[in-house]
Amino acid sequence: MSATKQVQPILHKKSLLVSNIVTIILLVLFLLLELLVDLVLKPVYSQTGLVVAGVIMALIPAILWIGFFYRQDRLEPEPKGMVLQVFVLGALVAAGIGIPLVNNVFKTTTWIYRDWWVHLLGGILVIGFTQEFLKYAVVRFSIYNASEFNERIDGIIYSTAAGLGYATMLSITFVAGSGGVDLGMGAVRVVLTALAQASFSGITGYFLGREKLDKKGAWWTPFGVCLAAVLNGLFFFLESTLSAPRLTATGSTVNPYFGLVLAAVLAVAVTAILSWLIERDYKSGLGPQEE
Amino acid sequence: MATGSTPLKRRALAPDILSAINISGITLIALMLGLILMQAAMNQSRSLTRAGVTANIPSGWILRQGVAQEELIYSASDPTSPYLKYSVSLVPAVPGGTVMDSVPPVNLNRGRALNAYKVLAQTPAVARGKDTFKVDFAYVQTNDSTSLPVVVRGVDYYFAEGDQVLLITLEEESGLFNAALPGFLRFVESVRYAPGGVK
């Protein structure tokens, strides 16, 4: 028995590393495929076709990413139906509350870029807190009290699902609203959004999972949501500053790859930290708990 | 010791419920601060002086300065709103006439240059602590062949300034015009004119 116990974490670590690498390779392949289709076929879409393409483009990175975290939940995998429900709920709150609040009530595009400090503070206070609170609320007021939520990693899985649902709706809105964005550029943006939203949600999810299972105090999860909101705002600031259009002698150019690199670094860092925390929990014998 | 009534026991809220309340409160505070930030950012301005005309231009707006032959001193456009524009011009006063006499030539020129230009109202008003003449107008802006024409509404404020008339104008898409008016009126109040400035 003890030999099995010693072998299992090593095997798991290997499989985790492989699944992590496979996920990143698949995301890169997805990007390359989109760029290739865009360069070779140069497709022209109708408005409906654009929405369909946007949905497909937004869903692929979401599925890849959630699959990565799902594979880590080896002790008691969550019901796929419930993960899907939380994903859909994340998309619905984005469409019904988050996007209209940021775009129509706060009208961020009309003032947020006026000064660097407005850009940074607005990113944290308006965009960061709106998105992170809504994604938190999706998990907290749906699955949190269910008996299926019985491992620390469940917080990460469900929050990531909510974040990816939110990201999918943001990407669909972007693709549909762009009125014919080129597919390659759109793919970069879609992957970037999915990586970033999944990472921030993962942070909140970790705090939520420990709040429920370890009976943490009343300021534990609020700290997690604030941390996620600040990182979200900081990411928004850096990404839009680095990817801002630059004037050249022949016109203006946009380089979305800076943002993509930033999102990738953030996603890898957050994923590594969360994976380490999950491993630490498993090593200390914190398995599923009976409700 | 019996008092005849049961003392009310305060039940402490569970930490996770308290946590949810805390998060909601923090988010609410963050959004309120965001609202204050939005107001502060929208009211931010920078001072600009040209041809003796000083005004507070909203920060981040795109500035265009008039050339020597133009009556336009400068105009400022909101980069996030394609039709929102403030303009300041100096037009020659009609010798022996009033401010009202400067209105017809301006309308005539606009009628030639703009599609379906129409004067909606002409009324006396008070702004910058002075008597002024206010003209409401509208025209149709046709863009490229793929988008529909847009009705643009505008308002002119005419101020007598010695042998010149200071003309301050707002233009905005008709549906957004009323929302743009308070900001424009603050801009009008900020305008100062000192004759003799160089363009």
| pLDDT category of residue A227 using cuts at 50, 70 and 90 | very high
Distance, CA of B155 to CA of A101 (rounded, Å): 31
CA distance A210 to chain B (A): 11
Distance, CA of B173 to CA of B7 (rounded, Å): 65
For the question of whether the overall pTM of this predicted structure is more than 0.80, the answer is no
Question: In three state form, how does the secondary structure of A76-139 look?
Answer: CCCCHHHHHHHHHHHHHHHHHHHHHHHHHHCCHHHCCCCCHHHHHHHHHHHHHHHHHHHHHHHH
Among A residues 92-111, those touching chain B with beta carbons less than 8 Å apart: 106-107, 109-111
pLDDT at A73: 65
| Cβ-defined contact of A111 to B42 (cutoff 8 Å) | yes
Residue of A nearest to B18 (CA): A218
Q: How does DSSP classify residue B153?
A: E
pLDDT at B104: 92
Residues of chain A with Cβ-Cβ distance to B26 below 8 Å are 129, 222, 225-226
Q: Write phi, then psi, for A230 (nearest 5 degrees).
A: -65, -45
Task: Say which range, A22-31, A250-259, B42-51, has the weakest mean pLDDT.
Answer: A250-259
B179 at A interface, C-beta within 8 A: no
Residue of B nearest to A211 (CA): B16
Residue with token string 């497909």: A56
| pLDDT category of residue A272 using cuts at 50, 70 and 90 | confident
**Does ipTM come in above 0.85?**
no
Condensed to tens digits (0 to 9), the pLDDT of residues A190-217 reads 878 888 888 899 899 999 999 998 888 8
Task: Say which range, A5-14, A230-239, B23-32, has the weakest mean pLDDT.
Answer: A5-14
CA distance A20 to chain B (A): 32
